[in-house]
Chains A and B, each alone.
Chain A
Amino acid sequence: MEVLTNDNWILTVGTFLPLAGVLLMMFIPAAEEVLHKQIAILTSGATLAVGIWTLAIFDYDQSEKLQFFVNEEWISVIKSGYTIGLDGISLPLYILSMAVTFLVAIYTWNNMPDAGNPKSFLMLMLVLQVGMAGSFIAQDLILFFVFFEVVLLPMYFMIGVWGGEQRQYASLKFFLYTMFGSALMLVAFLALFFQTGGESFSFAHLYAEGASIADNTQVWIFAGMFVGFAVKVPMFPFHTWLPDAHTQAPTQGSVILAAILLKLGTYGFVRIAIPMLPHGAEEWAPVIGVLAVIGIIYGALGCLAQTDMKRLIAFSSVAHMGFVMLGISTLTPLGINAALFGMVAHGLITGMLFFVAGSVKHRYHTLEIKRLSGMLIQMPRLGWILGFAAMASLGLPGLAGFWGEFPAILASWNPNPALDQDLFRALTVIAALGTVLAAAYLLWLYQRTAFGEPSEEFSGHGHGHGAAHSLSAAANAHDDDAHGHADIHDVTPIEWIAWTPFLVAIVVFGVYPQLMFEVMDPAVSQLVEHVNAGIGAP
């Protein structure tokens, strides 16, 4: 495989730069909270700057090739190398992880979770960033696995220490479940390594050799990877850790979890499982497709049953990741492009929804849908942002979410010729039903929380004057403080800074999706060609 090696310091710097911040923070007492926040923002900002520089010097004409490629010795005993590189498939996710971490760090400025101790919290977040970025640049299975696992621990602590009331249960479940998947995944990695002659863990080698493994064996190895990645995605029926983890996690944790961590699973399918085991992928594709579509419908039904806003958003992730997996299971460029786009779009949109949920919780101290009402009157801007994110989430064209869903539907009607056409066509129809249910749960949520008058509990005045008060409040949105309800306020400047890039990106990618498709498509096409060659399809 051809690679480009110029400027190849940039990935290493971009990935490990957050550790410099961590190191610095270690030596500063925890009491210096503001300083810690400043360091974290600066570090993640510098990381993002490196990321933007990477974007600037990335050669878009050769986005199918690995760029900034490094291949150094690492653990030669087990034939694992420090092999890293970036291509059109990983570039969007790599940059997304940097941007999200930076914006979450900014958000933390005055939205520290109740447990306090920004020092540890932000250090963990920076370590998390290293793991996420590393997973996207790794071109060696062991290296990938290490980064993949590095992610686990900081998130475990973020949920377990800074989370909600049932944080202990949720964090343990998250950790163990992912660990369980990782274990099987590692087995599969080892099996793959030995089956290909035990020569190297590098992706290039495994791409070249994987297809020659006996078909039956491929299916078994794929099964191991499937469980590992499917837990992370999460796919039905391995999803039950997700609602708990999301609901209990602090806002920052939820955002990172939704925006990046879930994508490690889907990325694993695209980058590792499918190209390395083409025949395994072919055999498993119907299973993945069926489970994905079950996830779409099931996740949507789960949403409809929720009484808690954050849990509802968490369940919606199951449905959305179902679309991503449906795209992947088609084994077509159209589907995998859709999946990759869907990953970024879901990261932006669901991340935004979790931000809003966090801010609602911060103001009302509850996320119970029943108790929230008339948010548009009390906090018009936040209400609009929620509406915007809900519309994006239900796949409105012109916003980013559409480009994950719609091409996936197109692709699943026209899947890879090696797959069962009728099955996938049936799946298409059911998946389309999922778009209706998505509209149902999101608009229902919106109607119950944003429309109408604020409930008595939060409207601030006693009986009789409630309506009049809220109406005048709408006429003059900044009036709330005067009534002694300082905690229900509209979007703060820090929130604007942290959110605006999300909102802008949702619109920009929605209006002009070519920005991302252009980068991904050559790499994806090459990948699908490789898979087709591996399964002997035309």
Chain B
Amino acid sequence: MLLAAEETSHAVGEASGWFIEHAWLIPVIPAVAFFLIIFFGKKMPRGGSEFGIASMLAAFAIAAGTAWDWIASISDHKKVAGNYEVEALIKQWTWWQSGGTEFGIGQHIDGLAVMALILVAFISTLVQIYSTEYVRGDRRYTHFFASLTLFSAGMLTMVLAPNMVQLILGWEIMGLCSFMLIGHWWEELPNAKAALKAFFTVRVGDMGLLVGTAMLLGIFGTLDIKGINELAAAGEFESKSMLMWAAVALFIACIGKSGQFPLHTWLPDAMAGPTPVSSLLHSSTMVVAGVFLVARIYPVFHVGLEINIDGQSFNLVAVIGGITVLIAALLAFVQNDIKKVLAYSTVSQLGYMMMGLGVGAWTASVFHIFTHAFFKCALFLAAGSISHTASHHSFDMKKDMGGIWRKMPVTFGVWMISTAALCGVPFFSGFFSKDEIIDSAKHYDYTVFYIVGIVGAFMTTAYMTRATYLTFFGTPRGGAAHFMGVEDHSAHDAHEVHGHSAHPEESEHADGHLPDDDHGHGAHGHDDHHAPAHHSRPLPFAPTDSPWQIAAPLLILGILAIGSGYLNAPALGIYWFEHHTESSIGLPIAHEEEGGEEHSEEAAAAEGEEGGEEAAAAEGEEGAAHSDDAAIYSVPAPPKFKWVNAAPGLGLVALGFVVSLGMSMAVFERKKNPFTPLVGLTQRSKIARGGHTVLVNKYGLDSLYENIIVRAVAYPISKAAYWVNQNVIDAIVNGAGKSGKQAGDMVYRYIDQGLVDRAVNASGTAASESGHAAQSVQSGKVNQYGALLFGAAAVGAIVLILTNA
């Protein structure tokens, strides 16, 4: 026993370093900056954005230092012990106590937290820089930066949470900021509604978070993430079904936050917010919080839902993730708004992450959080760049875009790279993460989800090709035509709708961008208040592209949309990311295929690692017994990459590209090609038309929620409850009061006036009259009622005492 204990303490290292020790500063700095912006922002020359950007840079610097420390700790430990089992560095200060139990606030630094910290701090910094140009001149400029900064503080608080309560704190602050930022232009009703819908839908899911946390406290007696993970992984709980329900409850929260089916409906509507918001909150960071939660307390889900148990081919997480992948991808085909395409794409990619976690591919899913953040953020920022510079604040691909690639080289280039990453084209970042999820699904015998994965990849490529074609190629239309300096040939049909400004918010206010003044409603219905002269300087090599505050973040993200993938590229034998995060899984990794047929293919580094582990496991009986125990609850090792396995997915991606490009040319440009016969199918075929209608109506989920459930609660049910209140409960109260008064009147008339008063003072008629007059005064009644009640109470008291004596 003793030996084994020593063995473990040897095998598990500890993280150290100044930055790791002080990682709690990372959310504190933006939190302080938030208050500075609120109180002093308006007086600052740059409206408070300097506080925001400075705080994000500082947070990023510390996060980078923390990452450095973490990497150093890992490599130090690797040299000594031969594995990557580095303990998380946890620090907690008492935050509240109850019944002698103290609940802390502090930090929990491990690979997963470090990854998320650096991701959030980095992207927040870029988006804030981007925003200085994008929302320049906005009337709530200061508020905008305050909300962005508070959001970053909230998200950073969440990702380094050492316990569930702090996690909830960050989680809900993000929800608040999401509400404020979606509704940033709240003067327009649709924006206010979208904000409300987002907050409210997520809040429905949060019920699960509250109850699930209460369940965890009941099961494990602690809310510390470390404790929960260890106890769950060790099987130290009374009832597995209770753990299952806790996992289900918590997963409901993740469904809400991460836009999973069936609570995904808020996310596309959230595009009503300014584009930097969509890019930061609603694609790259906040919406992955649900995925992050599952990854954070993975043992709860893995054990509770029996993921990777032999013979399991479905589980809740995977099924929800899989459904989300497909339904969202389908919806992306019928969108005309470029941001909506990206929104559904985000939903779909979040589905991939969830599905990955559901099949046991923890590393791949977490890595997909990482890569997705860069390329999806880049895509949104590119969309914003187009709207800002080329399409006159429109996001409508069909009306106001087309052919703009020539004049926007940076935006176009970044878009293409990011799209390739999103589609999973080999050697772009998305390929390495997404392919590993798909590969794992196949490898761990979740065949259905393997198929979902490759079909999803096909659809992703197809809708992105469509969007890319509409946006950058073909004939310039509407705003883009104006920008490109060509005549708008699409005027004949597109202009019917939007030229006459019948629905102003559909065109110039497509993202809810309000004009500061009343002019600008020109013949084109465009909002001209962002005249080019108003803009900052563009980058020298792209003079017609967006200003540098927009273009520079795009370029950086574009580079990362390729580069980030090489941190974990199984195809090239790189497992760097995996090694630096695997201790966060909370479960041992079962290397079942050691010495198997593919062993030779593996990179030397990985071999060394496994060898070390093998040696550790082989030492002593206790050690062996321990690993046997752990084998009940362990995650399988990632599959070995083989191009053969990736081939079907890649084939479908290529097919998706070809089909979609052909269709796009046939439909949008009326070019004759093999796909021409399919044009107009929705007019000719009932089934196709029906399918199209279902998609346009978003499967009817919105109308189910808004017109049926919400409306029922808001109107008939609440009205009925209130009716009961007024006409039943209150009627009883009033009735009691009235009968009391009647009884009082009777007593007064017959007993008091009739007997007592007459007998005592027969001559006091005048006094009696004045008494009548006084009776109508309210206070007179009070005395009577009071006396009556006290009389009754006294009788009751006597009865009670007598019966119990």
Are A453 and B187 within 8 A (Cβ)?
yes
Q: Which residue of A lies closest to B189 (CB)?
A: A452
In the complex, which residues of chain A have a beta carbon less than 8 angstroms from the beta carbon of B211?
A: 409, 413, 428-429, 432
Where chain B touches its partner, the secondary structure class is helix
Are B785 and A179 within 8 A (Cβ)?
yes
Q: Which of A95-103, A254-262, A329-337 forms contacts with chain B?
A: A329-337
The yes or no answer to B3 lying at the interface (CB within 8 A) is no
Q: In the assembly, what is the distance between CA of A437 and CA of B207, in Å?
A: 11
In the complex, which residues of chain A have a beta carbon less than 8 angstroms from the beta carbon of B192?
A: 447, 451-452
The yes or no answer to B2 lying at the interface (CB within 8 A) is no
Q: Which residue of B lies closest to A153 (CB)?
A: B782
Q: In the assembly, what is the distance between CA of A334 and CA of B97, in Å?
A: 9
Q: Which residues 285-329 in A have Cβ within 8 Å of B in the complex?
A: 298, 301-306
Q: In the assembly, what is the distance between CA of A180 and CA of B782, in Å?
A: 12
In the complex, which residues of chain A have a beta carbon less than 8 angstroms from the beta carbon of B537?
A: none
The yes or no answer to A363 lying at the interface (CB within 8 A) is no
Q: In the assembly, what is the distance between CA of A304 and CA of B722, in Å?
A: 9
Which of B722, B733, B782, B797 makes the CB contact (< 8 A) with A190?
B797
Q: In the assembly, what is the distance between CA of A468 and CA of B792, in Å?
A: 65
Q: In the assembly, what is the distance between CA of A301 and CA of B210, in Å?
A: 21
The yes or no answer to A141 lying at the interface (CB within 8 A) is no
Which of B187, B214, B793 makes the CB contact (< 8 A) with A451?
B187
In the complex, which residues of chain A have a beta carbon less than 8 angstroms from the beta carbon of B94?
A: 514
A286 to chain B, nearest CB (A): 18
In the complex, which residues of chain B have a beta carbon less than 8 angstroms from the beta carbon of A177?
A: 733
Are A184 and B98 within 8 A (Cβ)?
no
Are A184 and B793 within 8 A (Cβ)?
yes
Q: Are A301 and B722 CB-contacts (below 8 A) given A172-B781, A176-B785?
A: yes
Are A398 and B210 within 8 A (Cβ)?
no
The yes or no answer to B199 lying at the interface (CB within 8 A) is yes
Where chain A touches its partner, the secondary structure class is helix
The yes or no answer to A497 lying at the interface (CB within 8 A) is no
The yes or no answer to B721 lying at the interface (CB within 8 A) is yes
Q: In the assembly, what is the distance between CA of A537 and CA of B11, in Å?
A: 44
The yes or no answer to A117 lying at the interface (CB within 8 A) is no
Are A435 and B206 within 8 A (Cβ)?
yes
Q: In the assembly, what is the distance between CA of A376 and CA of B139, in Å?
A: 13
Q: Are A398 and B169 CB-contacts (below 8 A) given A180-B789, A302-B725, A436-B203?
A: yes
The 8 A CB mask of A516-535 against B (1 = contact, 0 = none) is 01100100110010000000
The yes or no answer to A217 lying at the interface (CB within 8 A) is yes
Q: Are A240 and B173 CB-contacts (below 8 A) given A410-B217, A453-B187?
A: no
The yes or no answer to A407 lying at the interface (CB within 8 A) is yes
Q: In the assembly, what is the distance between CA of A224 and CA of B179, in Å?
A: 46
In the complex, which residues of chain A have a beta carbon less than 8 angstroms from the beta carbon of B796?
A: 184, 187
Q: Which residues 481-525 in A have Cβ within 8 Å of B in the complex?
A: 512-514, 517-518, 521, 524-525
The yes or no answer to A369 lying at the interface (CB within 8 A) is no
Q: In the assembly, what is the distance between CA of A428 and CA of B101, in Å?
A: 21
In the complex, which residues of chain A have a beta carbon less than 8 angstroms from the beta carbon of B206?
A: 435-436
Q: In the assembly, what is the distance between CA of A525 and CA of B363, in Å?
A: 44
Q: Which residues 173-226 in B have Cβ within 8 Å of A in the complex?
A: 173, 176, 179, 183, 186-187, 189, 192-193, 196, 199-200, 203-204, 206-207, 210-211, 213-215, 217-218
Are A302 and B718 within 8 A (Cβ)?
yes
In the complex, which residues of chain A have a beta carbon less than 8 angstroms from the beta carbon of B101?
A: 334
Which of B98, B215, B740 makes the CB contact (< 8 A) with A334?
B98
A532 to chain B, nearest CB (A): 11
The yes or no answer to A414 lying at the interface (CB within 8 A) is yes
Are A443 and B186 within 8 A (Cβ)?
no
Are A190 and B218 within 8 A (Cβ)?
no
Q: In the assembly, what is the distance between CA of A407 and CA of B207, in Å?
A: 14
Q: In the assembly, what is the distance between CA of A224 and CA of B794, in Å?
A: 12
Q: In the assembly, what is the distance between CA of A475 and CA of B796, in Å?
A: 66
Q: In the assembly, what is the distance between CA of A46 and CA of B12, in Å?
A: 61
In the complex, which residues of chain A have a beta carbon less than 8 angstroms from the beta carbon of B237?
A: none
Are A443 and B797 within 8 A (Cβ)?
no
Which of A179, A237, A413 makes the CB contact (< 8 A) with B218?
A413
Which of B100, B139, B785 makes the CB contact (< 8 A) with A475?
B139
Q: In the assembly, what is the distance between CA of A410 and CA of B221, in Å?
A: 11
Q: Which residue of A lies closest to B245 (CB)?
A: A425
Q: Are A443 and B196 CB-contacts (below 8 A) given A183-B790, A413-B211?
A: yes
The yes or no answer to B99 lying at the interface (CB within 8 A) is yes
In the complex, which residues of chain B have a beta carbon less than 8 angstroms from the beta carbon of A376?
A: 186
B200 to chain A, nearest CB (A): 6
Q: How many residues of A contact B (CB 8 A)?
A: 86
In the complex, which residues of chain B have a beta carbon less than 8 angstroms from the beta carbon of A525?
A: 99-100
Are A179 and B718 within 8 A (Cβ)?
no
Q: Are A183 and B187 CB-contacts (below 8 A) given A240-B730, A447-B196?
A: no
Q: Which residues 92-130 in B have Cβ within 8 Å of A in the complex?
A: 94-101
Are A440 and B714 within 8 A (Cβ)?
yes
Are B172 and A172 within 8 A (Cβ)?
no
A319 to chain B, nearest CB (A): 12
The yes or no answer to B804 lying at the interface (CB within 8 A) is yes
Q: Which residues 350-407 in A have Cβ within 8 Å of B in the complex?
A: 374, 376-377, 391, 396-398, 402-403, 406-407
In the complex, which residues of chain B have a beta carbon less than 8 angstroms from the beta carbon of A528?
A: 99
The 8 A CB mask of A154-181 against B (1 = contact, 0 = none) is 0010001000000010011101110110
The 8 A CB mask of A429-448 against B (1 = contact, 0 = none) is 10011011101100110010
Are B199 and A443 within 8 A (Cβ)?
yes
Are B214 and A191 within 8 A (Cβ)?
no
Q: In the assembly, what is the distance between CA of A298 and CA of B793, in Å?
A: 30
Q: In the assembly, what is the distance between CA of A437 and CA of B719, in Å?
A: 14
Which of A183, A190, A191, A407 makes the CB contact (< 8 A) with B98?
A407
Are B793 and A183 within 8 A (Cβ)?
yes
In the complex, which residues of chain B have a beta carbon less than 8 angstroms from the beta carbon of A171?
A: 778
The yes or no answer to B674 lying at the interface (CB within 8 A) is no
Are A240 and B725 within 8 A (Cβ)?
yes
Are A452 and B785 within 8 A (Cβ)?
no
Are B721 and A396 within 8 A (Cβ)?
no
A20 to chain B, nearest CB (A): 27
The yes or no answer to A214 lying at the interface (CB within 8 A) is yes
Q: In the assembly, what is the distance between CA of A237 and CA of B790, in Å?
A: 22
The yes or no answer to B644 lying at the interface (CB within 8 A) is no
Which of B95, B168, B218, B718 makes the CB contact (< 8 A) with A305?
B718
The yes or no answer to B523 lying at the interface (CB within 8 A) is no
Q: In the assembly, what is the distance between CA of A376 and CA of B192, in Å?
A: 12
The yes or no answer to A53 lying at the interface (CB within 8 A) is no
B612 to chain A, nearest CB (A): 42
Q: Which residue of B lies closest to A507 (CB)?
A: B35
The yes or no answer to B678 lying at the interface (CB within 8 A) is no
Q: Are A302 and B186 CB-contacts (below 8 A) given A177-B733, A191-B804, A517-B97?
A: no
The yes or no answer to B729 lying at the interface (CB within 8 A) is yes
Q: In the assembly, what is the distance between CA of A451 and CA of B168, in Å?
A: 27
Residue contacts A-B, CB under 8 angstroms, 15 given: A172-B781, A220-B804, A301-B713, A302-B718, A302-B722, A303-B718, A334-B101, A397-B168, A397-B173, A398-B172, A412-B214, A413-B215, A435-B203, A447-B193, A521-B99
Q: Which residues of B contact A (CB under 8 A)?
A: 94-101, 139, 165, 168-169, 171-173, 176, 179, 183, 186-187, 189, 192-193, 196, 199-200, 203-204, 206-207, 210-211, 213-215, 217-218, 516-518, 710, 713-714, 717-719, 721-722, 725, 729-730, 733, 737, 740, 778, 781-782, 785-786, 789-790, 792-794, 796-797, 800-801, 804
Q: Which residues of A contact B (CB under 8 A)?
A: 156, 160, 168, 171-173, 175-177, 179-180, 183-184, 186-187, 190-191, 194-195, 214, 216-217, 220-221, 224, 237, 240-241, 298, 301-306, 332-334, 337-338, 374, 376-377, 391, 396-398, 402-403, 406-407, 409-410, 412-414, 428-429, 432-433, 435-437, 439-440, 443-444, 447, 450-453, 467-468, 471, 474-475, 512-514, 517-518, 521, 524-525, 528
Q: Which 5 pairs from chain A and chain B are nearest by CB?
A: A333-B99, A183-B793, A413-B214, A304-B718, A305-B722
List 10 extra interface pairs beyond A301-B718, A302-B725, CB under 8 A.
Answer: A187-B793, A190-B801, A191-B804, A298-B721, A397-B168, A429-B207, A436-B204, A513-B95, A518-B97, A524-B99
